[in-house]
Structure formats: structure tokens, C-alpha cells
A and B are shown apart, each in its own frame.
Chain A
Amino acid sequence: EAGVTQSPTHLIKTRGQQATLRCSPISGHTSVYWYQQALGLGLQFLLWYDEGEERNRGNFPPRFSGRQFPNYSSELNVNALELEDSALYLCASEAGALLETQYFGPGTRLLVL
């Protein structure tokens, strides 16, 4: 069974640009979570989607947004990129909205120059 996949693996942007990151959950999983892993800050919760709806978001500005498609895949959009947005962005999927077990993808490494 395929795991969580993310694309692209690496992304290089310049300040002010927009970045779009994609995630495909494990087949049958309806919840998708996004996390940011920045140097020295550990992992921080960004967004949670379930059944196409945004269920919760972490302490990030509105320029971090996303959506979940009918096939449960998800996009994370980061507008007006800042240098501090350079990080590994991890997507995780879960079978339901019960916060039981999340399975992580390999991540997208975003570098903002």
C-alpha cells in the first residue's frame, strides 16, 4: 500500500513569491495535516483538513492557506514568501478525524532566497 506522498521534494523560491506544496494521503484516509519543521523550532502544526473542510489551524499568519480536494489530496499555499518560511513541510494523513495515528510523508523542503 502506498504511503503519504508529497511533491515536489525540493522547492526554491525568492522572497515575495508564492509556493504551492502538494500531498496525497494514504488511500482511504480522509484527514490531512500540515506541519512546518524549521531549523531550531521543531515541528509546528499548521493546518488540518478533513472531508474537504479546514478543521483547525495553528498559529500561522493567513498567508499560509490550503485546501483539500474531493479525492482527499491537499495543497498548502504560502503567499508572500519570507526568508523564515524556509523549512521542511510535512504532510500527514489519518483515517478519520479522531486524531489517532498520523502517517507522515517525506516532506517538501522549501528554500526561500
Chain B
Amino acid sequence: GEDVEQSLFLSVREGDSSVINCTYTDSSSTYLYWYKQEPGAGLQLLTYIFSNMDMKQDQRLTVLLNKKDKHLSLRIADTQTGDSAIYFCAEISYSGGGADGLTFGKGTHLIIQP
């Protein structure tokens, strides 16, 4: 079955760049996503990338996709305390019956050190 793997924790200093990595297994994924979940809140879509792209930049966020290695990364430049959250990587999953919805990784806890 489909699987999305992420590291559970990442600790960075305020002002540094954060790089959150993700690997996925479904080679038929058309879109890959990054979601952010702050304490007690639902998920917020941060950004997404179409599978025929290698990179997407949106202000402080840069998404890199290596389709050959099925590796996705999210870089947050100039990390701030407000970036403290859990970051979920997600891919669209498919089965013989069609689309199954999004498959999420377990999330990476981003911890900001002052």
C-alpha cells in the first residue's frame, strides 16, 4: 500500500532555514502537498506541487520534488517562532477503485530554538 514517511522532529534556531523531508511510494501521485497543523487547530494547506514540477517557491517556502527518488522537501527560510507546528506531507493515493483520498505522513514537529 501507499506510504508516506517523515522524520518526527526537527529542531532549528530562529532565523535559520528549516528543511523538512518526506518520501512517498505512490509513483502515480499527481499532486503532493504540505500541510501545517498548529496546536489545537485543524490542518492548513501550505503549498502543493504538481508532479511534473521540480520546484515551487512561495515567499519563504520552497518545495523541491525529486520524482525519481520519490522525495519531497519543504524549506522554510528565516524560520520564526510562529512556524512552530507539525508539518504533514501528503500524496494522493489511488487504488483499483480510483482515488482514495490523501495519504499523510505522521507529521514532522518543527521546534524553534530562540
Seen from chain A, the residues whose Cβ lies within 8 Å of a Cβ on chain B are 6, 33, 35, 41-45, 48, 55-56, 58, 88, 90, 92, 99-107
Q: For the complex, give the distance between the alpha carbons of A44 and B93 in Å.
A: 11
**Cβ-defined partner of B101 (8 Å) among A48, A103, A106:** A48
Which one of B15-23, B40-48, B76-84 contacts A? B40-48
Contact with A along B51-68 (1 / 0, CB 8 A): 000000000000000000
Is the Cβ of A104 less than 8 Å from the Cβ of B35?
yes
Is the Cβ of B45 less than 8 Å from the Cβ of A45?
no
Total cross-chain contacts (CB, 8 A): 64
Task: Name 17 A/B residue pairs within 8 A (Cβ), A-sorted.
Answer: A6-B42, A33-B101, A35-B102, A43-B43, A45-B103, A48-B101, A56-B98, A56-B99, A99-B30, A99-B31, A99-B92, A99-B101, A100-B31, A101-B31, A102-B102, A104-B45, A106-B41
Q: Is B69 engaged at the interface, CB distance under 8 Å to the other chain?
A: no
